[in-house]
Structure 1
């Protein structure tokens, strides 16, 4: 499954980079693929559901020929277990560094950030996003998947 917003204007038969998700597991993949509305135009077609509309509640049946799945170096299982472990622990990070604390406090005192905590969070997230984009992307995907599952459980349990 993919969103129409992930598709270029006229993707039929062209080789494209595409983000797709498994409809059953909701796992998200980046793939190099060809897509088309007609399966006979592809060499090894699989069904692809394209969702569209303002609420992505309209579905179209397309076909996809996955040429390559981009492997990232993120250990998804380790990231998931780390996320679960952090849920059970304090979220305070302590560097035990006078130098770092001094610099962060300076940035807060000059008004660059509202607090030492905000400076620390912002600088670390900016750095992680720049240096480890695959890790940050995988974390976002897992977090969204987890929140979606929690919400679905809540909604379906109330019926």
Structure 2
């Protein structure tokens, strides 16, 4: 985590200053969302290890207040790396077609393609699903990227070293 966080005023309990609280924050740089146990205050000197916390508020969350946060503990939803690796290997051997069997979803995706929002139903489906997964499961997507890069690097190294 970077030391610069954001949260919504709606996530804060009444009178949170100086109290130990559970809070959902996002990393300002990566936009990754974390659940933390923390103390927050408007004054950094009231905390032992303060980082900047931007609190957005208002009906459109377009007003910002600068607060400070002392993160005591991060709840870590670890990704099962072995399961992800075995899933990646299994998918390599299978078709990549996903069938939702839903007239509603197909209708909405086709509408988006027909209006020019996307070039095709497939593009709309891929883009929307990847955007959702990136937002809702950033740890999983990050781990997948790491494994994919590692796999491609190994394949390239094998190819290059086998040719020498």
TM-score normalised according to structure 2 size: 0.55
Is contact 1:26-1:145 (8 Å) kept? Answer: no
Using the TM superposition, give the Cα deviation of residue 33 of structure 1 relative to its aligned residue in structure 2, in angstroms. Answer: 19
Change in Cα spacing, 1:122 to 1:4, as seen in structure 2 (3 Å) is same
Using the TM superposition, give the Cα deviation of residue 59 of structure 1 relative to its aligned residue in structure 2, in angstroms. Answer: 41
Is contact 1:47-1:63 (8 Å) kept? Answer: yes
Change in Cα spacing, 1:69 to 1:94, as seen in structure 2 (3 Å) is same
**What are the superposed Cα offsets for residues 82-115 of structure 1, whole Å, 9 maximum, x if unpaired?**
0000000000000000000000000000000000
Is contact 1:28-1:141 (8 Å) kept? Answer: no
- Distance of 1:130 and 1:144 partners within structure 2: 20
Using the TM superposition, give the Cα deviation of residue 73 of structure 1 relative to its aligned residue in structure 2, in angstroms. Answer: 1.6
Change in Cα spacing, 1:74 to 1:10, as seen in structure 2 (3 Å) is same
Are residue 34 (structure 1) and residue 39 (structure 2) matched? Answer: yes
Change in Cα spacing, 1:38 to 1:138, as seen in structure 2 (3 Å) is farther
Gap runs ≥5 in structure 2: 1-5
Using the TM superposition, give the Cα deviation of residue 119 of structure 1 relative to its aligned residue in structure 2, in angstroms. Answer: 0.1
Change in Cα spacing, 1:143 to 1:2, as seen in structure 2 (3 Å) is farther
- Distance of 1:59 and 1:156 partners within structure 2: 54
What RMSD, in angstroms, separates the aligned Cα atoms of the two structures? Answer: 10.6
Gap runs ≥5 in structure 1: none
The number of aligned residues is 159
Change in Cα spacing, 1:128 to 1:72, as seen in structure 2 (3 Å) is same
Is contact 2:54-2:67 (8 Å) kept? Answer: yes
TM-score normalised according to structure 1 size: 0.57
